[in-house]
Structure 1
Amino acid sequence: MIRLRRPSWFAVLLTLFGVVFFVRLGVWQLHRAAEKEVLLRRFATAATAPIQDFASVQRGALPERYPHLAVRGHFVAGRSYMLDDQNKGGRPGVQVYAPFQPDGHPRLLLVDLGFLPREGADLKLPQLPPIQSGEVELRGIYVPPPAPGFKMGGNALARETTWPKLTTYIDMDQIAADLHATLYPRALLLDADPAQAYVREWTPGFMPPARHYGYAFQWFSFAIAAIAIFVIMHRKKPETGDDDE
């Protein structure tokens, strides 16, 4: 049986605070994992959901919903962006975005055209297929833009003078300033089209549930470690008797 020295109140309070803090973080990560699982199921069914009209959706799209919509308008001529450092099926490449002007709406809609691999042994940037001109109807999933992550090197768009422009992250405010226009807060992931060169295999742009479960395990481990450290620091050493008489 483990025997403990009488701990100080500071040690007790510090350990209790640490255990409660780590457990709360672990439980929070479990809740986040459950929320992400719900979002994954909604995203998985979005592409086959009934088509909604853009005008009825764009004002009321909630962060946890992924409307499947149709919108008519035209692409802004000569303007497109390539999101670098992307990968599909083990092939490096770019994700291509283009601004779209919906009919009867003042703001621009950023459209994700899909993925294109880099070309050749030296992995050159791909030549973009011509973007359709004139009036078109687009169909796709209306989603939040990809999280920008670390914005290294500042706003590269302002320094580039040729199109398409290359970027390492999508920042809606920077793109809006670059286009001298106002953008809708979400982007449109176009439905798959076998006639197009673009790869359109969409995944939601958020941390997967497995990552949250991993973080939860980490925080619960810290709670166990705090208890173990408390026990080790206050464990009584075994008494040794003197055999000499």
Structure 2
Amino acid sequence: MSFLRRPTWFAVALTVAGVLVFVRLGVWQLDRAAEKDELLRRYAAASEAPLEDFAGVAAQPPAERYPRVAVTGAFLPGHRYILDDQTRAGQAGVHVYAPFQPNGDNHAVLVDLGFLPREAGAQPRLPPVPVAPMTVHGLYVPPPGVGVRLGGDRLPAQKGEDKSVVYVDVGEIAADLHHSLYPRVLLLDADPATIYAREWTPAVMPPARHRAYAFQWFTFALAAVVIFILLHRNKRQRPRNEAP
């Protein structure tokens, strides 16, 4: 005799659907962990890589890596973009972006100057952007993810040199500049002479947490099977002559 009672079709369908959903979520979290591992690997490899000529990767950057490049030119005066609501080591602040014009090029590249903490909750004081020609070097990477966008482009309504943004959209910033921009941004190398903090570890959920979530979803799938078995197992019947 089977140790399970015959379940209803609804119970079977509900259990199978639950297991499939939980397993799929677990696999998705493992995929996300692999993506974060790859992202961290690219940053680590790029930070130790030799400098490359920016012109060779500017328009068509390699998808599989983040090159470390050197660019000679000058910052475009009168334009800074303040990415608000940023954190570093638990401290709130901003990232400051400025367009940099390479010599002999009709495109500019958006440069992340680094992180500045807020001062008593107020916006930090920004040092002036250098106006003299110079050579800058850093990692040439995709712009930070936009995430969920609420509202439209606020740039056209803002005046003055400094404009606040809640996400870095290269297309919208290019339209505000009335100047073409390259598709990636430049994260400047650390410089002890600047007040900007430049530690370019991507601000993403660590892979270990994704794996923990995956374990949680797989545990839910196992729990669904166990609950199904417990609810449908046959109870042992006592012999008639057995005392209650």
Which bin holds the TM-score, normalised by the shorter protein?
0.7 to 0.9
The equivalent of 2:165 in structure 1 is: 167
Equivalent residues, number: 241
Q: Which residue of 131, 137, 140 maps to 2:138?
A: 140
Question: Is the counterpart of residue 235 in structure 1 residue 216 in structure 2?
Answer: no
> Is structure 2 residue 82 aligned with structure 1 residue 79?
no
The residue type equivalent to 1:3 in the other structure is F
SS of equivalent residue, structure 1 residue 32: helix
Aligned to 2:122: 124
Q: Distance in 2 between matches of 1:104 and 1:193?
A: 26
- Counterpart of 1:57 in structure 2 is 57
TM-score by length of 2: 0.87
SS across alignment from 1:154: coil
Q: Which residue of 1 aligns with 2:212?
A: 214
Which string of whole-angstrom CA distances, capped at 9 and with x for unpartnered residues, describes residues 73-120 of structure 1?
22111100111111223322111001112223322211000011112x
* 2:182 maps to which of 181, 184, 193: 184
**Relative to 1, partners in 2 of residues 1:205 and 1:182: Cα closer, same or farther, differing over 3 Å?**
farther
Contact 1:116-1:198 within 8 A present in 2 as well = yes
Q: Is the 8 A contact 1:146 1:205 kept in 2?
A: no
- What is the Cα-based RMSD across aligned positions, in Å? 2.5
Q: Which amino acid aligns with 2:135?
A: E
Instruction: Determine the structure 2 residue equivalent to 1:88.
Output: 88
Take 2:108 and 2:205, find their aligned partners in 1: how far apart are those partners? 27
Segments of structure 2 that go 5 or more residues without pairing to the other structure are none
- 1:19: which partner in 2? 19
8 A contact 1:83–1:94 mirrored in 2: yes
1:50 to partner: Cα distance: 0.5
Residue 240 of structure 1 and its aligned partner are, at CA, apart by 6.3
Secondary structure of the residue aligned to 1:158 is helix
- Give the partner amino acid of 1:99: P
- Secondary structure at the aligned position of 1:188 is classed as strand
* TM-score for the superposition, normalised by structure 1: 0.86
1:13 Cα deviation from its structure 2 partner? 4.5
Q: Cα distance 1:169–1:134, how it changes in 2: closer, same or farther (>3 A)? A: same
Gaps of 5+ in 1: none
Aligned equivalents of 2:220, 2:199: Cα separation in 1: 38
